Amino acid sequence: MLNDLITTVGDPAANSYATLLEAETYLGAYPVNQDWNGLADLDKNGLLILATKQIDLLPFYGLATTQSQALAWPRLGMVTKEGYIIQFDAIPRQLKEAQAELAYALAVGTFSLEPQISINTIKDVKIGDLAVTYRDAPITEAYLPKIVTQLLRPWLAGGGRVLRG
């Protein structure tokens, strides 16, 4: 079906990192989430798929585990924020949480797929003959909810990394 979630790690047809149950369990900790709870499962699945597509646009460290996998994860050469190696066939919990957060933000209307102009996207402003120069900001800076960026930061190109054995 159109909005069926395929979460098999490394599957060429995968379209989501988190299952609906994983997302709902994570979001169940929110005190007020009636906008999410009021949705049909197919709509929730659609939002999870859309969130996955947005996350996969990000510049991650490492390499995809296989050439045939549909999604950016799993990846080789990845570590947790504490510096421990992430297995080549694993999807980190924080990635699934970031996906659920983004799907939730889409559901409640606190995030739009339309680019947002913010102070982080402006590089320079001139007043005489009014000119605004925008940064070539990665999607993480300009468009994603802060919590999503914070959850994904250890794996995004440009973030700090420490490797522990």
Asked whether residue 104 is assigned to any structural domain, the reply reads: yes
**Per-residue pLDDT at 105 exceeds 70:** yes
Amino acid in the structure at residue 126 = K
Total number of domains in the chain = 1
Within a domain: 41: yes
* Cα–Cα–Cα angle for 14, 76, 48, rounded to 5 degrees: 30
Q: Tell me: pLDDT of 112 over 70.
A: no
pLDDT at residue 1, rounded to an integer: 58
* Residue ranges making up the domain that contains 95: 20-155
Check residue 124 and give its pLDDT: 66
Q: Which pLDDT value is given to residue 10?
A: 93
8 located within any domain: no
Tokens linked to 124? 């320079």
Does residue 162 belong to any structural domain of this protein? no
Going by pLDDT thresholds of 50, 70 and 90, the confidence category of residue 161 is very low
The answer to whether position 24 is within a domain reads yes
Residue among 127, 24, 12, 146 at smallest CA distance from 71: 12
Q: pLDDT at residue 37 above 90?
A: no
List C-alpha distances in Å: 157 to 10, 78, 161.
21, 11, 10
Average pLDDT, stretch 98-111? Answer: 89
Q: What is the pLDDT of residues 114-138, one digit of tens each?
A: 555 555 556 666 676 666 565 555 4
What pLDDT does 142 receive? 47
Q: Mean pLDDT in the chain?
A: 83
Q: Tokens standing for 32?
A: 């007020």
pTM value is 0.78
Q: Is residue 11 part of a domain?
A: no
Q: What is the pLDDT of residues 59-87, one digit of tens each?
A: 999 999 999 999 999 999 999 888 999 99
What pLDDT sits at residue 8?
Answer: 95
